[in-house]
């Protein structure tokens, strides 16, 4: 796929699709987004809407949350549905030259959102008595910030490879047992490897694996277990303007136990599938994109449908 066509795919919906435990959500990236951009700046501005329901250990929607952690109740009756609105302004930079023979870039994403479903789950898990609990927060505030300082990709023939390191900084408001939290109160580290193959001049297929490792939560005795996510997607180039459509999917599983006495949900998992479409208003300068994601096979998580729409503004570096 030509260089310019790839750049429209550099759109990320961080903390929008599944609101998983931990920070990283599968299908946060489109298939081409794992690979470093070409030199210049990309400024995406996005809005996202998500409607999530709680799914228990049997994978069924439920208003009863089971929590076997020491000191916490056996069950809570909860308000099942959590609706989130998010606004995201991103800054993506593609550097000149090579690092270790690779194209390179960096990314930073501050978020502004109403409390997500995973924050609702944090709230429910911190309750210390059985009964009915309703998450009705309608506030809007800063969430945790995504920072990707290591973004390397290599290309050889029809194959491309990528290595990324990113972190979630706990910039969102966090106070134990508080309904008004906008963040999780802990750092998360993401290590990702990805590969892409161009099956022909218009079609490419991408597979990525992301390991998320979480640190201890602020002012609590709780550490979220690690998660492993596999993302699979494909994109199709519609024309020489760079307009595209594509599909993506993911599967996430918790691979280590939670630690500490506060919280302690049993292991969780989730899968999802979705699609995107992109269109250049001004070719390779201003473009729009829309995405939709549907989650399924969720256990001990909130899951549902998420929709995002946004604008990409490209500022090339020099002649690129």
- 179 vs 290, higher pLDDT: 290
pLDDT band at 182 (very low <50, low <70, confident <90, very high): confident
What is the predicted pLDDT for the residue at 318? 60
Res 197 pLDDT > 90: yes
pLDDT tens digit sequence for 248-273: 999 999 999 888 875 555 688 999 99
Res 134 pLDDT > 60: no
223 close to 193: Cβ distance less than 8 angstroms:
no
Mean pLDDT for the stretch of residues 104-113: 88
What is the predicted pLDDT for the residue at 105? 97
What is the predicted pLDDT for the residue at 265? 56
**Overall fold of domain 3-316:** Porin (2.40.160)
pLDDT band at 317 (very low <50, low <70, confident <90, very high): confident
- 161 vs 52, higher pLDDT: 161
- 236 vs 319, higher pLDDT: 236
What is the predicted pLDDT for the residue at 211? 98
Q: What is the mean pLDDT of the chain?
A: 83
What is the predicted pLDDT for the residue at 22? 82
Mean pLDDT for the stretch of residues 165-188: 87
Res 177 pLDDT > 80: no
What is the predicted pLDDT for the residue at 76? 62
- 89 vs 10, higher pLDDT: 89
What six digits make up the tokens of 237? 């180039």
- 238 vs 7, higher pLDDT: 238
Mean pLDDT for the stretch of residues 56-84: 69
Tell me how far apart the alpha carbons of residues 253 and 274 are, in angstroms, rounded to a whole number.
18
Give SS3 for 117: helix
According to DSSP, residue 122 is labeled H
The radius of gyration of the chain from alpha carbons, rounded to an integer in Å, stands at 19
Handedness of CA 55, 67, 114, 233 (dihedral sign): negative
55 close to 21: Cβ distance less than 8 angstroms:
no
């Amino acid at each position: 796929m030509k260089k310019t066509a790839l750049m429209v795919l550099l759109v990320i919906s961080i903390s929008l699709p599944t609101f998983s435990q931990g920070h990283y959500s599968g299908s946060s990236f489109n298939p081409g987004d794992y690979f470093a951009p070409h030199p210049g700046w990309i400024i995406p501005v996005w809005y996202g809407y998500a409607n999530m329901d709680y799914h228990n250990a049997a994978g069924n929607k439920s208003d009863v949350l089971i929590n076997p952690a020491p000191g916490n109740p056996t069950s809570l009756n909860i308000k099942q549905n959590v609706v989130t609105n998010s606004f995201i302004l991103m800054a993506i930079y593609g550097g000149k030259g090579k690092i270790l023979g690779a194209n390179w870039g960096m990314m930073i994403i501050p978020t502004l959102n109403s409390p997500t479903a995973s924050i609702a789950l944090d709230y429910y898990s911190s309750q210390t008595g059985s009964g009915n609990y309703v998450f009705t927060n309608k506030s809007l505030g800063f969430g945790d910030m995504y920072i990707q300082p290591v973004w390397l990709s290599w290309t050889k023939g029809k194959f491309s490879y990528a290595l990324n390191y990113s972190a979630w900084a706990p910039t969102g408001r966090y106070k134990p047992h508080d309904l008004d939290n906008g963040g999780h109160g802990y750092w998360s580290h993401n290590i990702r490897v990805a590969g892409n193959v161009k099956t022909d001049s218009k079609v490419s297929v991408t597979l990525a694996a992301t390991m998320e490792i979480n640190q201890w939560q602020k002012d609590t005795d709780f550490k979220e277990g690690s998660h492993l996510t596999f993302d699979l997607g494909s994109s199709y180039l519609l024309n020489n303007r760079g307009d595209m459509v594509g599909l993506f999917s993911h599967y996430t599983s918790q691979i280590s136990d939670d630690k500490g006495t506060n919280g302690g949900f049993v292991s969780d998992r989730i899968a999802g599938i979705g699609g995107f479409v992109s269109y250049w208003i001004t070719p390779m300068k201003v473009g729009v994109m829309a995405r939709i994601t549907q989650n399924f096979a969720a256990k001990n998580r909130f899951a549902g449908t998420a929709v995002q729409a946004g604008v990409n503004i490209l500022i090339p570096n020099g002649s690129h």
